[in-house]
Structure 1
């Protein structure tokens, strides 16, 4: 780990100032940056600690059933949930309030992690998805504290990056006590990176367990207009989506942009005003879709499920740029025809399943998306209800099954 720690110290000023810039830019209390140095002034507990690390809002939402199961199985313990982003932190507070402890995960500097572990002394640590923090895992291993990777995934892009730096990571993957991953490709990649093949198993994503399938779908949809919900979009996807919508030429259609980071709303408005479109802001319309305007912009968090329930079709963002896509499942549970760009490596197996089922259509340009939307807006919803219900129900339960494999 010496070489890893040497390079981490060399590049740390860039890491720190980037983190500080994002905190200040999005209006967070600057004091919270100190949590990333393991200087924590919040609530503590005398109970033994179970640590769950979920990097951002997606992992926090996906782990809800898993967290509930931990609280049931370990009533004499206190749960500490860490993350690294403001949206993740806000979601933890909204979901759990004071029922869990929460702070940012410190930077992976050795002295920060040592201080963090000395403060909390977690009996068990669960790391979600791909959050491999070498010093954290190494020190937990040295201290003989159990550490598990659950709901693990390893995209081809991440796999290639880890392969490059493996010589300086001191076989960090072999120090995981057990790994539960989401797919066959993930399983193969984790083993190749050093996870003991006897301590890894494949199951489905926890994200399936966070879904509640509605009994009725058609009754929830807007009867006056056809809504195209563009979820979790990133810069500059909004400009491409607005262009596709402008080419659609459908008088009954409304484009609803739901950026992954709603604090970008002012920039998005500025960008699309340049092409002569003045969107309605969700926060200025009593948190409702403005049916009198063809383009709406959602500048609040926590409303995506409600928006999907009213939608006719959905576009999933983070896919027109090399970001790896966002979660398809919230749209899928409402049996919506879905479109996306070509970059969905974060949800590769789910995307491939949906393409095979003819639910997901892929287009990487405004012209292609316009053609896809024309077809999907004229599709019959009943044709995919049964397919989506069966697909989702067959994959639920991974959050509970995980405990059968973990030596706790």
Structure 2
């Protein structure tokens, strides 16, 4: 099945450039760094040991920052390459990565792009985070005898059902890992059934992550603007949960006339839709991402910026964690708990 997948990615190869440029025109790819998606880069490989860590997006990237620090401490002359696939994670990592660690976009899962990427970087160790397993990228890494490790592996029931259907694709990949470290016993059982050899339950690195940062001046200014207003936060909210936030706002507003609802959409690109939808329903909205002022009349403050979740957890006594009211599994509540928020989640 791996060979069939490989052939399909080769056949579909010409479409990849078209798709990526279309995404770039919509602001979903960095046009100036599009070459990285094809395994091409202007950056040189640093000398010495290089550890490569692949994480899907923002949450996974932030969770492995303590691991990046430990790796750099263990390798005084080494470097860490962290790959992701989203613009938001690239922007955040530009600010958060320590010296001797750097970011690249992960190459598309096409054999030629994968080959260029591995030929250029030649890592001594490859670490995958959670559940984003690209078959060509992973298999070619393993075939080059590069040690591979899966950390804080996660397998939802939905993903498990899919991979059981594609067992011929996933089994050799999981069996090829030198070590599989997973979050829960349920994850261990699912990974084992799909071909992983002796997965170990080690929990999640998110417990070791530092408290989310907040810029002191911004925190003070926002606190002054809010004063004593009653407020609550809907954090990392997905499409499918917007109506829940809206209805909750209406119920709370009937009891707290000065209520401010702060909404951090999981995907900032949905902010424009949210603003139009709720303004059409008679709510006064302000979008932080476009510089709209927060006034006493503002009812909904849409925080469509990156890297400021720590700011909003600090000013909100209560946080609803998104992703938990849809078939997704919920976003990370630990960050809110670390900052003394009362946390609400869905079923």
TM-score by length of structure 2 reads: 0.88
The one of 314, 318, 323 aligned to 2:319? 314
The one of 261, 275, 284 aligned to 1:278? 284
User: Could you tell me whether the CA contact under 8 Å between 1:290 and 1:296 is conserved in 2?
Assistant: no
User: Could you tell me whether the CA contact under 8 Å between 1:187 and 1:201 is conserved in 2?
Assistant: yes
Please state how far the C-alpha of 1:301 moved relative to its aligned partner: 1.5
Per-residue CA shift, 1:327-360, capped at 9, x if unaligned? Answer: 1111122333322334xxxxxxxxxxxxxxxxxx
Q: Tell me if 1:188 matches 2:189.
A: yes
Q: Tell me if 1:263 matches 2:269.
A: yes
Which residue matches 2:55? 54
Per-residue CA shift, 1:115-136, capped at 9, x if unaligned? Answer: 1111111110111111212222
Which residue matches 1:234? 238
Give the 5 Å matches for 1:299-310: 299-310=304-315
User: Could you tell me whether the CA contact under 8 Å between 1:26 and 1:263 is conserved in 2?
Assistant: no
Distance 1:149 1:291, change over 3 A: farther
Please state how far the C-alpha of 1:182 moved relative to its aligned partner: 0.8
Distance 1:109 1:2, change over 3 A: same
Which residue matches 1:404? none
Structure 1: gaps of 5 or more residues? 215-219, 343-408
SS in 1 for 2:196: coil
Which residue matches 2:335? 330
Alignment: residue pair count:
335
User: Could you tell me whether the CA contact under 8 Å between 1:3 and 1:168 is conserved in 2?
Assistant: no
Per-residue CA shift, 1:19-56, capped at 9, x if unaligned? Answer: 44333212644232221110111343122321011110
Give the 5 Å matches for 1:5-404: 5-10=6-11, 17-26=18-27, 28-96=29-97, 99-169=100-170, 171-197=172-198, 200-212=199-211, 224-248=228-252, 249=254, 250-283=256-289, 290-342=295-347
Alpha-carbon separation, structure 2, partners of 1:304 and 1:122: 33
Please state how far the C-alpha of 1:292 moved relative to its aligned partner: 4.1
Per-residue CA shift, 1:223-258, capped at 9, x if unaligned? Answer: 712221001112243343122211331214211011
User: Could you tell me whether the CA contact under 8 Å between 1:127 and 1:147 is conserved in 2?
Assistant: yes
Alpha-carbon separation, structure 1, partners of 2:171 and 2:158: 21
Alpha-carbon separation, structure 2, partners of 1:120 and 1:50: 10
Please state how far the C-alpha of 1:95 moved relative to its aligned partner: 0.5
User: Could you tell me whether the CA contact under 8 Å between 2:171 and 2:196 is conserved in 1?
Assistant: no
Q: Which moved more, 1:177-186 or 1:109-118?
A: 109-118
Alpha-carbon separation, structure 1, partners of 2:92 and 2:132: 18
SS in 2 for 1:122: coil
User: Could you tell me whether the CA contact under 8 Å between 1:137 and 1:176 is conserved in 2?
Assistant: no
SS in 2 for 1:50: strand
Alpha-carbon separation, structure 1, partners of 2:250 and 2:341: 22
Structure 2: gaps of 5 or more residues? 214-221
Please state how far the C-alpha of 1:104 moved relative to its aligned partner: 0.8
Distance 1:111 1:285, change over 3 A: closer
Alpha-carbon separation, structure 2, partners of 1:202 and 1:168: 24
Distance 1:201 1:168, change over 3 A: closer
Across the aligned residues of Structure 1 and Structure 2, the Cα RMSD in angstroms comes to 2.6
